[in-house]
């Protein structure tokens, strides 16, 4: 028998995870990095709260107003890692992949030039009913 998680538990777990992003003032950031996970390409300040309440184990990023960086640091290489961090402390909460046509966060172009505008239009975090 496979382990399954109830919808109420999935929602509680998902909310607990994404709510960590909002624990500082100012609220958290979504930072895009090169593959090394240390060279920043763009920092997108998140709304507070960053995510709406989870439903069916899925929390959706609040993109109203838009989650945008209008002054990206840019880099000649592609952003392939994204890290959600708390605001002041900069504590890592979530890490995911970035790509074009694949990845947890998909961009139209992940080679971001200096001062280029980067906007996230949608993103979800999911706690599955059956753990991997």
pLDDT in tens, 79-124: 999 999 999 999 999 999 999 988 999 998 899 988 889 999 899 9
Report pTM. 0.91
Q: What is the pLDDT of residues 75-86, one digit of tens each?
A: 778 999 999 999
94 close to 17: Cβ distance less than 8 angstroms: yes
């Amino acid at each position: 028998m496979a382990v399954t998680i109830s919808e109420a538990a999935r929602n509680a777990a998902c909310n607990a995870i994404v709510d960590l992003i909002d624990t500082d003032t100012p609220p958290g950031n979504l930072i895009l990095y090169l593959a090394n996970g240390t060279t920043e390409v763009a920092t997108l300040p998140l709304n507070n709260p960053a995510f709406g309440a989870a439903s069916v184990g899925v929390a959706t990023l609040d993109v109203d107003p838009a989650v945008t960086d209008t002054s990206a640091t840019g880099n000649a290489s592609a952003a392939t890692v994204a890290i959600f961090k708390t605001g002041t402390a900069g504590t890592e909460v979530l890490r995911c992949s970035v790509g074009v046509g694949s990845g947890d966060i998909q961009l139209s172009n992940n080679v971001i030039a200096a001062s280029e505008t980067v906007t996230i239009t949608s993103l979800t975090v999911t706690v599955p009913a059956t753990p991997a």
